[in-house]
Chain A
């Protein structure tokens, strides 16, 4: 896809940070509010697709390499399955939640009753949301990026 006009670029410049912040908010609050790794990752990728439409695929290809996005996708999958096997090591159950109630990272026990939501709860669920978020961002963005780059090639022979 080719570059678009200055109006589209300015609008994309204004809207892009809000979209990114909202998507990352949905990812990191995945254990408290609706949403999670997949939904937040889809929102972040929609912001990146906005940038791709405004600035053209060649500009984005200069800054982001698809090989690096593939590495990030594998990193998300490896992180997810590593946390699952750490549950097998520490609490003798596959996908065991070994961090909850321990008082360390995300380890506070939430208060019972109707209270304000405590962010520092959930055990391994926020970490798994981060892993799924990284995997979904990289996987969906490489689909859109390769699609835009392939449609801009004129001569297919």
Chain B
């Protein structure tokens, strides 16, 4: 638990918050889905840094892959751009 761990941990958490903010603010829903997948992948990296590889595998498999696939299928069935 050195100072490097603290720096990497804080950096990953800040990037997670930035990715989720991008996912909320974007008007293009497909890009927002990709930003959500990036947020999920960074969250799985954070789980791995906190010594929980089991939860990290589950988060990467379900959050970053399957949820993104379902959301993209739903976007393809409806409209891509969000309206005002």
Taking the closest CB of chain B, its distance from the CB of A146, in whole angstroms, is 10
Give the number of A-B contacts (CB < 8 Å). Answer: 52
Taking the closest CB of chain B, its distance from the CB of A9, in whole angstroms, is 17
CA A38 to CA B57, docked complex, whole Å: 10
- Residue A1 is within 8 A (CB to CB) of chain B in the complex: yes
Q: What residues of A have a CB within 8 angstroms of the CB of B76 in the complex?
A: 1, 151
Decide: B54 and A39 in contact? CB cutoff 8 A. yes
- Residue A70 is within 8 A (CB to CB) of chain B in the complex: no
Decide: B66 and A151 in contact? CB cutoff 8 A. no
Decide: B62 and A42 in contact? CB cutoff 8 A. yes
Q: What residues of A have a CB within 8 angstroms of the CB of B72 in the complex?
A: 53
Decide: A151 and B77 in contact? CB cutoff 8 A. yes
Q: From known contacts A46-B66, A140-B66, A144-B66, infer whether A151 and B74 are also in contact, taking CB-CB under 8 Å.
A: yes
Decide: B54 and A53 in contact? CB cutoff 8 A. no
Sample (27) of A-B pairs whose CB atoms are under 8 Å apart: A1-B73, A34-B53, A34-B54, A34-B56, A34-B57, A35-B53, A42-B57, A42-B58, A42-B61, A42-B65, A42-B66, A43-B57, A45-B66, A46-B65, A49-B65, A49-B66, A49-B69, A52-B69, A53-B69, A143-B70, A144-B66, A144-B69, A144-B70, A147-B73, A148-B73, A150-B77, A151-B77
Given contacts A34-B53, A151-B77, 12 further A-B contacts (CB under 8 A): A1-B76, A34-B54, A35-B54, A42-B66, A46-B69, A49-B65, A52-B69, A140-B66, A144-B66, A144-B73, A148-B73, A151-B73
